[in-house]
Amino acid sequence: MDPELVLVFPGQGSQKVGMGRAAATSSKTAAGVFAEADEALGFDLSRLCFEGPEERLKETANTQPAILAASVAVLAAALDADTIQRRPALVAGHSLGEYSALVAAGALEFGAAMRLVRERGRLMDEAGQASPGTLAAVVGLDEATVEEICGESGAEVANYNAATQTVVGGAPEAVERACTLAKERGGRGLPVKVSGAFHTSLMAPAAEAFARLLADAEIAEPVIPVVGNVSGGTLNSAADVRADLEQQIRRPVRWHQSVDAMETAGARRALEVGPGKVLTAQLKRSHPGLEARSIEEISETANV
């Protein structure tokens, strides 16, 4: 085990046409990941990842399993190439990325995880249509100030991404009001293009329906501790994992707190595994004590 290394997995928003294709081309194991994903879902997800069209890839019910498949494929390719040579001390994922982390930790079987996230995306999309909402990233203000703004506007905190970047969500008028208040206090509110107010109470119907699916899901004890989104602490048992996933859809993602916990546990290097470099860029700003790298930044001969 490498006590200083953590693996982090990206969530929704990191999707792009072509994701995972290089991994599948270079690694038979990664190609097998996509084949298993296609079989689990009963349609050609791999083609959608590799070729698009982009508009269909952006649909929440497709985006979520696509990112999971691409992330696990990149992990498989990295292991095949000995890019990752030792077991990390911890794994974590941002929102949807928590499912990639749970697969990496052995808590969820990949095919079962694919089916779960497909339903997760479908249910979240339905909840967004039934109760229209949106998200905005508030930057330049601390968490306490953003929480005060939410109390005044009717918006809710959706993601604690960094000390001075907090995503808020809710009904469009509430989020618009929150952005106005943020500007008055010296910050900025930046709209996020999503199909619903994810990780807020508007997702309660999706969370309740998803909890019924989770009740029948097989969840194993993680072989690597997973840092959960809901608590920002480690999930060491199957019961911990189930409880976190039951709440995750409608509760804020405590990402900033999760990274704090990883640093406190001794993490000094974070490797982002999956499409894009969103978490890497964010970690370099929010936690400069961590050496944050994306798998895409590592050459074929480098290892961690």
Domain extents for the chain? 2-129+200-297, 133-192
Q: Is 95 a catalytic residue?
A: yes
Active-site entry in 94, 199, 256, 287 = 199
Provide mean pLDDT across the span 74-82.
Answer: 95
2-129+200-297 and 133-192, same CATH topology: no
Q: What's the CATH class of domain 2-129+200-297?
A: alpha beta
CA nearest neighbour of 226 among 209, 243, 210 = 243
pLDDT single digits (tens) 127-141:
999 999 999 999 999
**pTM for the full model?**
0.96
Q: Is 94 a catalytic residue?
A: no
CA nearest neighbour of 94 among 144, 160, 155, 142 = 160
pLDDT single digits (tens) 193-221:
898 999 999 999 999 999 999 999 999 99
pLDDT single digits (tens) 282-292:
999 999 999 99
Is residue 264 packed enough to be buried (19+ CB in 10 Å), middle (13-18) or exposed (0-12)? exposed
- Is a pLDDT exceeding 60 seen at residue 301? no
Active-site entry in 27, 46, 95, 294 = 95
Q: Is the dihedral of CA 297, 292, 10, 217 positive or negative?
A: positive
CA nearest neighbour of 73 among 19, 14, 11, 12 = 19
With respect to CATH, is domain 133-192 assigned 3.30.70.250?
A: yes
